[in-house]
Amino acid sequence: MKSALVLVVLIFPVIWAQVPHWGPCPEPEVQSAFVLKQFMGRWFEIAKLPAQFEKGRCIETNFTLTTDSSIR
């Protein structure tokens, strides 16, 4: 009985470490008056859900517009 209780106590934080989401994925609204050229450049992450593989790292990306009007 005691070992089962210890197991539950140890497993409980792992279960609650995930972000539950029920149902289909939400569909965000498209921003009105979006200007693609203003979106280009270097972007930094300012908020996120914890991810062990990103611990202590600054996440950034750089968006550039290619000659065929696609984003890289």
- Say if 39 falls within a structural domain: yes
Tell me which residue range forms the domain holding 43.
Answer: 33-72
Listed in sequence order, the DSSP H helices in 1-72 are 2-16, 36-39
Q: Residue range 45-55: average pLDDT?
A: 79
Note the pLDDT of residue 20: 67
| Distance (Å, whole) CA 25 – CA 7 | 32
The burial of 17, by beta-carbon neighbours within 10 Å (0-12 exposed, 13-18 middle, 19 or more buried), is given as exposed
| Distance (Å, whole) CA 47 – CA 55 | 13
Q: Residue range 27-43: average pLDDT?
A: 90
Q: Residue range 46-52: average pLDDT?
A: 79
Total structural domains within the chain = 1
Give the HSE-up count for residue 38: Cα atoms under 13 Å, Cβ half-sphere: 3
Higher pLDDT, 15 or 68: 68
- Say if 15 falls within a structural domain: no
Q: What is the pLDDT confidence band of residue 18, given thresholds at 50, 70 and 90?
A: low
* Token pair for 37: 């050229």
- Say if 45 falls within a structural domain: yes
